[in-house]
């Protein structure tokens, strides 16, 4: 694990009990099940190993990828108002990743000299730990309780928060969930939260197809590389022999379904073995493997979906040009 050398704040970083081991260590059967389906699929959580996260971060900094830039602008403009509305609650961040933008909210706690307990949740424990140490060094009042787990596993591990909690779901990560995962996560979130808890959600919205397609076809090719890195991730984790150069990246916006769909295309007939799983799979030329979805929501539909799950809209801030929003929801 690439741990930074000891520095200020390290004593305020820890892993929540039971969550420090590799959260994907038992995922092999799901990988096999998904590659036996028709069409075949690789779960999007395989985008994010250490290299995949680095490529995703590079994609986020490209001029075409408006999502990161606009979200940061909205957070910068409204962080104070958000903290005033919610109060200085402990923060649980789902899919924290590098937590690049979280500091914009944490700075509001720091300005008031208030202790903040921060629970970043992510499957990628290496990235989580590096982010935790960086934030603890930046914010002397911050205590970081890392949760290396899936969203679903993490929620029941959290302590009870008598004053309530603020969940963050940034980076449009909610938009990467499949329909069934959305239903499951929302009911799980309702069950493991209390009346009055807040959720701050960042979501990309419906807009012209060209801007969306540009975002996922950045000229530097980081989007494509981060998706194809899923194959390298499977190779490393399961002793696989995917030849990455024999696969292509396909990203298309489906305006009717309101989602961008990313596939990996097999460029030739080929057979791949994941030795550690004792599993072999064949692909035919032009076969598409489902890799990632990115929902582009209608803000009212998004509000209705969360309302059905027991969360009412407290405030929303929408960038009128790029059509990207921050939504503050409150648990009934
Ligand atoms: C789109 S990135 C967003 C990262 C960060 N929140 C941001 O705004 O830049 C999604 C993050 O969620 C994590 N992730 C994806 N699926 C997850 C799951 N089921 N449980 C926990 N973490 C997950 C990934 O490892 C990745 O770090």
Statement to judge: residues 76 and 194 lie in one domain: yes
Q: How confident is the model at residue 325 (pLDDT cuts 50, 70, 90)?
A: very high
Residue with the bigger pLDDT between 276 and 17: it is 276
144 and 182 housed in the same domain: yes
Residue 4: the pLDDT is 52
Pocket of ligand 1 (CB under 6 A): 45, 48, 95-97, 100-101, 121-124, 150-151, 170-171, 173
User: Do both 195 and 158 map to the same domain?
Assistant: yes
Instruction: Tell whether 200 and 99 lie within a shared domain.
Output: yes
Q: What is the CATH number of the domain that holds 161?
A: 3.40.50.150
Same structural domain for residues 88 and 146? Answer: yes
pLDDT for the residue numbered 1:
52
* 12 CA → ligand 1 middle, Å: 23
Cβ neighbours around 242 below 10 Å, total: 24
Task: Give, using CA atoms, the residue closest to atom 21 of ligand 1.
Answer: 150
The answer to whether the bond into 165 is cis (omega within 30° of 0) is no
What confidence category does residue 9 fall into, taking pLDDT thresholds of 50, 70 and 90?
confident
User: What distance in Å separates the CA atoms of residue 191 and residue 198, rounded to the nearest whole number?
Assistant: 14
Same domain, 196 and 307: yes
Task: Pick the residue whose CA is nearest to atom 11 on ligand 1.
Answer: 95
- As a whole number of angstroms, the distance between CA 145 and CA 85 comes to 24
pTM for the whole thing?
0.96
Q: Does residue 141 share a domain with residue 127?
A: yes
Given ligand 1 and candidates 123, 222, 295, which is best to mutate, with the most ligand atoms within 8 Å of its CB? 123
* Cα 173 to averaged position of ligand 1 atoms, centre (Å): 6
> In the structure, what pLDDT confidence band is assigned to residue 22 with cuts at 50, 70 and 90?
confident
Query: Are 169 and 95 spatial neighbours (Cβ–Cβ below 8 Å)?
Result: yes
Sheet holding 311-319, edge to edge: 13-15, 142-148, 116-122, 91-94, 166-169, 198-204, 324-331, 311-319
CA 78 to chain centre: 21
What are 128-173's pLDDT values in tens digits? 999 999 999 999 999 999 999 999 999 999 999 999 999 999 999 9
Full residue range of the structural domain in which residue 136 is found:
65-205+297-331
Number of domains in the chain: 2
| Lookup: tokens for 25 | 């260590």
The helix (H) or strand (E) run that includes residue 124 is none
Question: Are 259 and 134 members of one domain?
Answer: no
Which pLDDT band holds residue 242 (cuts at 50, 70, 90)?
A: very high
Tell me which residue has its CA closest to atom 9 in ligand 1.
171
- 3: pLDDT strictly greater than 60: no
Per-residue pLDDT for 321 more than 70? yes
Are residues 193 and 316 both part of a single domain?
Answer: yes
pLDDT at 177: 97
| Shared-domain flag, residues 76 and 188 | yes
- Examine residue 244 and state whether it is found in any structural domain, yes or no: yes
Q: Residue 17 pLDDT more than 80?
A: no
Query: Same domain for 88 and 216?
Result: no
- CA 84–ligand 1 middle distance (angstroms): 26
| CA-closest residue to ligand 1 atom 23 | 95
Which DSSP symbol is given to 178?
A: -
Within a domain: residue 50? no
Contact assessment for residue 300 and residue 286, using Cβ atoms and an 8 Å cutoff: no
Domain shared by 253 and 316, yes or no? no
């Amino acid at each position: 694990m690439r741990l930074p050398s000891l520095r200020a704040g390290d004593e305020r970083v820890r892993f929540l009990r039971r969550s420090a081991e590799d959260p994907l260590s038992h995922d092999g059967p799901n990988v096999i099940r998904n590659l036996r389906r028709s069409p075949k699929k690789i779960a999007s959580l395989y985008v994010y190993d250490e290299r995949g996260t680095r490529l995703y971060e590079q994609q986020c900094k490209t001029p075409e990828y408006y999502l990161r830039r606009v979200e940061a602008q909205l957070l910068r403009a409204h962080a104070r108002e958000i903290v005033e509305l919610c109060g200085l609650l402990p923060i649980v961040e789902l899919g924290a990743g590098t937590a690049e933008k979280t500091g914009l909210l944490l700075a509001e706690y720091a300005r008031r000299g208030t202790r903040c307990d921060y629970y970043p949740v992510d499957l990628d424990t290496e990235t989580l730990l590096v982010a935790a140490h960086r934030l603890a060094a930046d914010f002397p009042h911050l205590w970081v309780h890392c949760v290396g787990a899936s969203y679903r596993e993490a929620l029941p591990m959290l302590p009870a928060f008598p004053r309530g909690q603020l969940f963050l779901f940034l980076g449009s990560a909610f938009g990467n969930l499949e329909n069934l995962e959305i239903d499951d996560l929302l009911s799980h979130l309702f069950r493991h939260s209390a009346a009055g808890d807040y959720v701050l959600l960042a979501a990309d919205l419906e807009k012209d197809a060209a801007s969306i397609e540009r975002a996922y076809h950045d000229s530097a090719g980081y989007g494509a590389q981060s998706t194809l890195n899923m194959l390298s991730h499977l190779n490393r984790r399961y002793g696989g022999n995917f030849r990455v150069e024999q696969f292509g990246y396909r990203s298309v916006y489906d305006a009717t379904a309101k989602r961008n769909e990313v596939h990996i295309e097999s460029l030739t007939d080929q057979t791949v073995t994941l030795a550690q799983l004792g599993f072999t799979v064949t692909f035919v030329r032009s076969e598409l493997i489902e890799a990632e979805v990115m929902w582009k929501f209608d803000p009212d539909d998004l509000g209705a979906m969360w309302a059905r799950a027991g969360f009412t809209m407290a405030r929303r801030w929408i960038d009128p040009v790029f059509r990207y929003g921050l939504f503050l929801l409150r648990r009934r």
